[in-house]
Structure 1
Amino acid sequence: MTVKEGDPIWEGDEAFRNSSNPARFMDWLRQERGLDFSSYEAMLDWSTDEIEAFWAAIWDYFGIISETPYDCVLQARTMPGASWFPGSRVNYAEHILRREGDHPDRTVFHHLSETRPLAEMTWGDLGTKVRILATRLRERGVGPGDRVVSYMPNVPETIIAMLATTGIGAVWSSAAPEFGVKTVADRFSQIEPKVLFAADGYRFGGRDFVRLAEIEEIAAGLPSLETIVWLDYLGNRERPKTQAEIVAWDEMTGGEPVAAEDFRYERVAHDHPLWILFSSGTTGLPKAIVHSHVGIIVEHYKTAAFHLNLKPHSCMFFYSTTGWVMWNSLLWGPLMGGRVALYDGSPTYPGPDLLWKLAADVGATSFGASPTFVENMRKQGIVPNARYDLSKLENVFLAGSPSTPETFVWLQQAVKQDLWITSQSGGTEFCSGIVGGAPMLPVRAGEIQSRCLAVDVRVLDDEGKELIGEVGEMVIAKPMPSMPIFMWGDEDFSRYRESYFDVYPGLWRHGDFMLINERGGCYVHGRSDSTLNRFGVRIGSAEIYRTLEKVDGVLDSLIVCIEEPGGGYYMPLFVQLREGHALDEALTGEIRARLRGERSPRHVPDEVIAVPAIPYTLTGKKMEVPVRKLLMGWPAEKAYSPDAMQNRQSMDWFIDFARRRSEGGAGMYQSLTRR
């Protein structure tokens, strides 16, 4: 089956569309607000034009619990500094657990790991554990505004710790246990935590990774730390040597239960911090991004309901570690009264189709993963529906990188024919989506269906002119509730402004190149600071990668374009070859011919170079920007952080290549710093 980018491949039938959450919301708007929209697109336009009216409707539609009424929806349409629902007092954890009393014996979590068999947790068990732990934290003097951090795997204990922390108004932050010491220290040292939740290690691909030494070093660098709550995840009874008091997880969550009616959630002001997320940390000190309770509550209701179509019967799964923003989104399922499946371990161990088996075993209705994961399934010839019953699956949610038409087609053929495939793109900055799924609209191969509701996203050229059907800079023209309220330690908002508002005053510049076509379909073309700018013509690296996926001998690839000191450009293509293949004239010629034929002459690289491996960040992104900086002459220590990498040794080749290439003259970095 040959499908071109943008070809229609699916549309829900009338029953599916009419029963979708957006359709029900449109009915409610008609009855309660007197707003009669002729189409989803009409409601979308209203939501981006009248953001105050839209978010007021979200507040009422989902019945947001507030101790006090809000004074107004939005004080002013300013960025940064927009103030949402001032006067309200809310709590995020209370909204997650509000369904507990309705069905305490129903399952809320399925959880599987390489160390534990598949098991379940009920709403009642979750609520009880959260209340006990929250009470123990209060007894230790933890209160509103105190920071509590985690170095734990994706297991129920970590979710419980997060809900207990946020339930008492303390501020949560998480790092994955595979992160190196420097990566964790760069994050946690900025926010001075009082409590650390830590596991003794994790298992990945059948191998145990004990983290005692790392935890000792992390704790030693946190003078504010008073308590470590210790989880024996691998069964290692040894404890780290630290000045902080160590308390066992079972001690903090055991004992007499705390009844729901005897527990008080800390309802906090509209601008009270909920959690702190960090930028990838590929270069420089990671940005400590702070979200509010109220902003995340309303944004997550909107996204879970209208862009994933989650309902009380739904079971959401998304493969994520605790160090990725998607982990903070896993509770979309319980937020809507449904279930969530957690998995900790390798997605391909002991077999490459493990996650599909998990989806079948738990009856997942929404399956989430990166396009890279799905593409690897396709290349390996795996056919999940030949082995597993995936009849309950309603949608696949792709995030993390651009998707290809081939990925969409494979999902229909190998997973389920009647499948709503939604590719979405957002960011750590919002803990939500910018462009994403719309169950009332058709699906087109490789295309993101629509702008998200109430997100005024536009595409601009260098002069600030809006573009339709052309690649340009992604900007957001109006505030969103889940935009960061501030960055920790950035008292004067200078880093905030420099990060997002230095190019287009008054507009959020997200750092991605994007195309929105005339029908509203969206394509994200990668980070704008790593996008290929060759003689003034912008080329998305995703275009290169999509073509190379069809070349048999190429396993992986990375492309950059750098400006030379003399005004020229250099665009090398680095390829990791499959076993048994060599980069001979025939393969190089095929690569060049395909790029020239499928893309344009400007897409043909100056050189094709074989490398041992392609470097990736811990969150699975190709390290285009660090490689580009190395080739521009940046010192390695300024170009990237080894602790932020999956495969540290892979960068050694690029460091050596950049050194050899620059021996004949100064790179761009040296040229700029000498001025």
Structure 2
Amino acid sequence: MGALLWKPSEEQIKEANMTRYINFVNEKYGLSLSEYSRLYHWSIENIPDFWASVWDYCDVIFSAPYRQVVNSPDNMLEARWFAGARLNFAQNLLRHRDSHTALVFRNESGDAVRITHAGLYNQVARAAKTLRDMGVKAGDRVAGFMPNMIETVVAMLAAASIGAIWSSCSPDFGTKGVLDRFGQIGPRVLFTTDGYYYGGKKHDSIGRIAGFLKDIPSIAKVVVVPYAESNPDIGSLPGAVYYNDFLAPEEGLEIEFEQLPFNHPLYIMYSSGTTGVPKCIVHGAGGTLLQHLKELILHTDLKRNDTIFYFTTCGWMMWNWLVSSLAVGAAAVLYDGSPFYPDPGALFKMAAEEGVTVFGTSAKYLAAVEKADVSPGRDHHLGKLRAVLSTGSPLPVESFEYVYREIKQDLCLSSISGGTDIISCFALGNPTGPVYAGELQCRGLGMKVEAFDETGSPVLEKKGELVCTAPFPSMPVGFWDDPDNKKYRSAYFEVYPNVWRHGDYIEITPGGGVIIYGRSDATLNPGGVRIGTAEIYRQVETLPEILDSLVVGQDWDNDVRVILFVKLAEGVELDDGLTGSIKKAIRENTTPRHVPAKIIRIKDIPYTINGKKVELAVRNIIHNLPVKNQDALANPEALEFYRNLPELQN
């Protein structure tokens, strides 16, 4: 267990939604639960009762009640949830129709656009009417090639109100990346902008849109939000119309919320696609709603007076998660642009100006601002900030310490982990519990998460595969165009029958926390000993000379040897002294087996567009294996630096 960094005060515990929920459960079921660990165990031992209590406590809006919570709580593949219930996802998010701020849009210019809950409802009503008038119906696909802005949320909610399926990807995707995604699902309508801004530069989208439209004949209408230009030329886009001309002219419309089954498809998300064409993961409306309400209200302690921000694009599941904050009535801040423009402290300046109470970002971002010597607590008034969330990759101990040293001492730092596959989290925050350096605070309520060793047996205080051994409502409805569920079963259930294998390498601590050691498919095996890549990153990236690093295993002499690639700060050379320092830091803080056989300087580290290191792609490159679908990468040109390296030939 890492060092204790924070624990909530008695007053914070008393006022937390989690405490109110414990009291609610105790009264409803005649229990005497008093703290999170007991609540967690009750939730995984009484799965139907638990999810029924979330439905009630979080006040799900529905038109027909459910007959049964789950038909088969012991069978992950056969489980069906809340049979008989009829509801609409958008109706739940648009429940507040008042003058409170619903969304704030910020970009690199520093300007802010705001919309109230009433204004949002009105705009969604106008967009939904036009979609209906076009003949869009439940089950049709509506796509977004959009920055993270208010119109994106409007388009999604308008589609969801009808029962159409929303799917989006960020506008920095190349033409092939868009085709690999939208080309599989055949959307009828595309929402987009004429361009976007990043790093102080304007980027045109019209040319790329024209490039992929001809290969997606299903798109009958293109709705363009003028953003980079006030009056962009959209003549090259067949069926294109400006956003304001698309909206129905009537004001004061009532939305006709289509009432649909719990499992009706809501979102199509995409796997990273670095090993082939992306998998199209279909998520149901009810499961997404229930899981997000649980995570936002209980695990994040979100309330109506909160302002929540998460730095994300519209191609990452954290966008979907953030937007669900509307159901709570909190204000959600949307940001488009570089987090480092015009300077590395830009997001914290924005957080101070907007009075952000919950600030979400990636582990990579926190490490980068620490390297840039940013001190948000010194430079900005963050008096309202009470929680920082981090995801995308394991948050190292040093970043935990940085948050409490340089951002704020009294806040709940929750490293969270789950993924696109479940559009939610397996492990995340607990506002009523302590924060220990390097640990995710807890496993999520209702999520029967375990660590399996090599024999498929659950272990505590030992490293193992992250698995989930009981069903949960936000499991995918399935994969698109996978009628017999073959691809779906192969993705999660091939290794352990009736057990979800997620692909993370973890340890469950005595206090119920979780330590993540990286992706299990990228785990190193020198001498047959399993090593998580995050264990090495943690040591290497604390060194000021190293801006970034990537570690892979190279097959060598009937074994695996550890290869470490480092991206160095300007003016730094990889000499014997630095090499020795790197190896010493790794050896002294891990084991001799963690010490790389080779340390190689590299110009850049490849990342997916969602900010994850692509260890497997580099491993394929150095073994002369093909890397499919490089359009999933933010910087695919970086892969070429790893090809035919002479240092790996001996």
The two structures have a TM-score, normalised by structure 1, of 0.94
Aligned match of 1:667: none
Q: Does 1:614 align with 2:605?
A: yes
Q: Does 1:208 align with 2:202?
A: yes
Report if the CA contact (8 A) 1:456-1:478 is conserved. Answer: yes
What is the Cα deviation at residue 655 of structure 1? 2.2
Aligned match of 1:392: 384
- Cα distance between partner residues in 1 of 2:337 and 2:610: 14
Aligned match of 1:457: 449
Aligned match of 2:494: 502
| Superposition map of 1:82-161 within 5 A | 82-100=79-97, 104-114=98-108, 117-161=111-155
Aligned match of 1:650: 638
Q: Does 1:333 align with 2:330?
A: no
What is the Cα deviation at residue 30 of structure 1? 2.0
Q: Does 1:467 align with 2:453?
A: no
SS at match of 2:142: strand
SS at match of 1:213: helix
- Cα distance between partner residues in 2 of 1:210 and 1:584: 43
What is the Cα deviation at residue 178 of structure 1? 0.2
Report if the CA contact (8 A) 2:129-2:248 is conserved. Answer: no
Cα RMSD of the aligned pairs, angstroms, is: 1.5
- Cα deviation per residue 1:87-118 (whole Å; 9 max; x = unaligned)? 11111110001122xxx211111111135711
- Cα deviation per residue 1:118-163 (whole Å; 9 max; x = unaligned)? 1211111100000010010000000100000010100100000000
- Cα deviation per residue 1:433-464 (whole Å; 9 max; x = unaligned)? 10010111111112111101000000001211
- Cα deviation per residue 1:184-228 (whole Å; 9 max; x = unaligned)? 100111111111111111110110110111101111111111111
Pick one of 417, 437, 440 that aligns with 1:448. Answer: 440
Report if the CA contact (8 A) 1:172-1:276 is conserved. Answer: yes
- Cα distance between partner residues in 2 of 1:309 and 1:240: 48
Report if the CA contact (8 A) 2:465-2:505 is conserved. Answer: yes
- Cα deviation per residue 1:555-579 (whole Å; 9 max; x = unaligned)? 1111101334x52223211111111
Report if the CA contact (8 A) 1:442-1:449 is conserved. Answer: yes
| Superposition map of 1:138-537 within 5 A | 138-235=132-229, 237-239=232-234, 241-242=236-237, 244-253=238-247, 255-260=249-254, 263-537=255-529
Q: Does 1:560 align with 2:552?
A: yes
- Cα distance between partner residues in 2 of 1:630 and 1:648: 12
Aligned match of 1:670: none
- Cα distance between partner residues in 2 of 1:649 and 1:69: 53
What is the Cα deviation at residue 407 of structure 1? 1.3
- Cα distance between partner residues in 2 of 1:74 and 1:563: 46
Q: Does 1:586 align with 2:577?
A: yes
Q: Which moved more, 1:110-119 or 1:194-203?
A: 110-119
SS at match of 1:119: strand
Aligned match of 1:58: 54
Q: Which moved more, 1:217-226 or 1:408-417?
A: 408-417
SS at match of 1:561: strand
- Cα distance between partner residues in 1 of 2:392 and 2:376: 22
What is the Cα deviation at residue 404 of structure 1? 1.8
SS at match of 1:595: helix
- Cα distance between partner residues in 1 of 2:323 and 2:553: 40
SS at match of 1:98: coil
Report if the CA contact (8 A) 1:145-1:169 is conserved. Answer: yes
- Cα distance between partner residues in 1 of 2:129 and 2:253: 11
Query: Counterpart of 2:84 in structure 1: which amino acid?
Result: G
What is the Cα deviation at residue 231 of structure 1? 1.3
Q: Does 1:23 align with 2:31?
A: no
Report if the CA contact (8 A) 1:165-1:172 is conserved. Answer: yes
- Cα distance between partner residues in 1 of 2:522 and 2:252: 52
- Cα deviation per residue 1:266-294 (whole Å; 9 max; x = unaligned)? 11112210010001111201110011111
Query: Counterpart of 1:57 in structure 2: which amino acid?
Result: S
**Percent pairwise identity:** 39
- Cα distance between partner residues in 2 of 1:62 and 1:548: 43
Q: Which moved more, 1:69-78 or 1:87-96?
A: 69-78
What is the Cα deviation at residue 254 of structure 1? 5.1
SS at match of 1:539: coil
What is the Cα deviation at residue 264 of structure 1? 1.4
Q: Which moved more, 1:60-69 or 1:492-501?
A: 60-69
- Cα distance between partner residues in 2 of 1:550 and 1:458: 30
Aligned match of 1:10: 6
The two structures have a TM-score, normalised by structure 2, of 0.97
Question: Can you give the 5+ residue segments of structure 1 that lack an aligned partner in the other structure?
Answer: 665-675
SS at match of 2:549: strand
Query: Counterpart of 1:214 in structure 2: which amino acid?
Result: R
Q: Does 1:605 align with 2:602?
A: no
Report if the CA contact (8 A) 1:279-1:287 is conserved. Answer: yes
Aligned match of 1:576: 567
- Cα deviation per residue 1:537-592 (whole Å; 9 max; x = unaligned)? 1111111111012223211111101334x522232111111111111111111111
What is the Cα deviation at residue 421 of structure 1? 0.7
- Cα distance between partner residues in 2 of 1:56 and 1:632: 50
What is the Cα deviation at residue 661 of structure 1? 5.2
- Cα distance between partner residues in 2 of 1:332 and 1:276: 16
- Cα deviation per residue 1:29-87 (whole Å; 9 max; x = unaligned)? 12232222132211110001111110011111122222212120001132224211011
Report if the CA contact (8 A) 1:90-1:267 is conserved. Answer: yes
Aligned match of 1:627: 618
Pick one of 535, 541, 546 that aligns with 1:549. Answer: 541
Distance 1:576-1:116 versus aligned 2 partners, 3 A rule: closer
SS at match of 1:560: strand
- Cα distance between partner residues in 2 of 1:432 and 1:374: 21
Q: Which moved more, 1:362-371 or 1:588-597?
A: 588-597
- Cα distance between partner residues in 1 of 2:184 and 2:477: 17
Query: Counterpart of 1:85 in structure 2: which amino acid?
Result: F
- Cα distance between partner residues in 2 of 1:472 and 1:562: 22
What is the Cα deviation at residue 240 of structure 1? 5.1
Q: Does 1:33 align with 2:29?
A: yes
What is the Cα deviation at residue 633 of structure 1? 2.7
Query: Counterpart of 2:77 in structure 1: which amino acid?
Result: P
Query: Counterpart of 1:644 in structure 2: which amino acid?
Result: A
- Cα distance between partner residues in 1 of 2:528 and 2:492: 23
What is the Cα deviation at residue 332 of structure 1? 3.5
SS at match of 1:649: helix
